[in-house]
Amino acid sequence: MSENESTAGQAEQTEITDYNDPNAPWNQAWDEQGGIANWNDDVIKEFRENSGKVGGAYAGGDLILLTTTGAKSGKRHTTPLGPLYRGDTMFVSSFIEDKYPAWWYNIKANPRVTIELRGKTYQATGKVLEGADYDEFAAWVLANHPLLADFQSKIDRPMPLVVLTLGGEG
């Protein structure tokens, strides 16, 4: 696979080309306080009950469950994310407009993570991209992922980019 090709999930993304699309999953389940209302709990439950498969807006695409250790609390936190790929390199980002997501801070403080993918669990390492590594990778992402490019055009800070490296199962 060339570095310009993505794997599972890309077809889903090409249908949503604008970050503000009301059909985008991230624009649908907000509570009165501006947070996602129990969104993750239901997705995590469905993911685990169905060996990594979920329905709804994410049907047919790849999802992972990323478990990090809280940078301040030390508690484990699990977040469903749609992985993207540059060749064989898995990476994740976020569509939170006003701040970096908690999992980004957690990985920055403790890069050891757990990833659940397609019904299997892996020990893994997350690397928050910064500096020249970030610049090179972000240029590729913006050229090859129109949805992330659209999102980046709407925010004033660099989008979060984290590379995930799977270790052994367990």
Rounded percentage of the chain residues whose pLDDT exceeds 90 = 56
> Model confidence over 7-61: pLDDT tens digits?
433 334 346 555 455 555 544 554 555 555 566 788 889 999 998 888 887 788 8
User: Hunting for tokens 């893994």 — which residue is that?
Assistant: 124
Tell me the CA end-to-end span of the chain in Å, nearest whole number. 27
Q: So what's the pLDDT on residue 7? A: 40
Task: Give residue 170's pLDDT band: very low, low, confident or very high (50, 70, 90).
Answer: low
> What SS3 class is residue 53?
coil
- pTM: predicted TM-score of the whole model, two decimal places: 0.76
Q: So what's the pLDDT on residue 31? A: 52
Q: So what's the pLDDT on residue 8? A: 39
Q: So what's the pLDDT on residue 60? A: 81
User: DSSP letter string over 98-145?
Assistant: SS--HHHHHHHH--EEEEEETTEEEEEEEEE--HHHHHHHHHHHHHH-
Q: So what's the pLDDT on residue 66? A: 96
> What does pLDDT average to over the chain?
82
Q: So what's the pLDDT on residue 65? A: 95
| Pair 113, 67: CB distance under 8 Å | yes
Q: So what's the pLDDT on residue 169? A: 77
> Model confidence over 102-124: pLDDT tens digits?
999 999 999 999 999 998 999 99
Q: Which residues pair with 126 in a beta bridge?
A: 164
